[in-house]
């Protein structure tokens, strides 16, 4: 369940895709995010760095993941996976601390 929340949150916050992205499957949303990130790599690298900073993914983590890409997948997909991983961590932390405050 947190997977779909994380991908939907990221796609929404980054304003990726069309108005009806909520109706799309998790895989379709992931593909939209990956394509968007690939486009940023090619056209607006500073914006990509800004997104990494905002989501709290270290450049070094991204660099390491890209250098160790043995699966031969696109860079946008690798970065999308890292963004989703971080967003899922944040969802878990929010849930953990919201339960403690009750």
Q: Is the pTM of this model over 0.85?
A: no
In tens, the pLDDT along 43-61 reads 999 999 999 999 999 999 9
With a pLDDT cut of 70, the percent of the chain lying above it is 87
pLDDT tops 60 at residue 85: yes
- CA–CA distance from 49 to each of 41, 72, 75, 91 (Å)? 9, 22, 14, 22
pLDDT recorded at residue 57: 94
SS3 state at 49:
helix
- Write out the residue range of the structural domain in which residue 68 sits: 2-101
Contact between 83 and 10 (Cβ < 8 Å) = yes
Exposed/middle/buried for residue 41 (C-beta within 10 Å: 0-12, 13-18, 19+) = middle
Contact between 82 and 62 (Cβ < 8 Å) = yes
CB atoms within 10 A of CB 26: 13
Number of domains in the chain: 1
């Amino acid at each position: 369940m947190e997977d779909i929340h994380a991908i939907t949150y990221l796609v929404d916050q980054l304003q990726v895709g069309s108005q009806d992205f909520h109706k799309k499957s998790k895989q379709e949303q992931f593909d939209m995010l990956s394509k968007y990130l690939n486009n940023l790599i090619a056209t607006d690298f500073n914006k990509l760095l800004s997104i990494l900073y905002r989501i709290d993914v270290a450049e070094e983590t991204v660099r390491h993941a890209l250098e160790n890409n043995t699966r031969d997948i696109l860079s946008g997909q690798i970065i999308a996976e890292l963004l989703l991983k971080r967003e899922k961590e944040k969802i878990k932390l929010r849930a953990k601390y919201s339960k403690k405050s009750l």
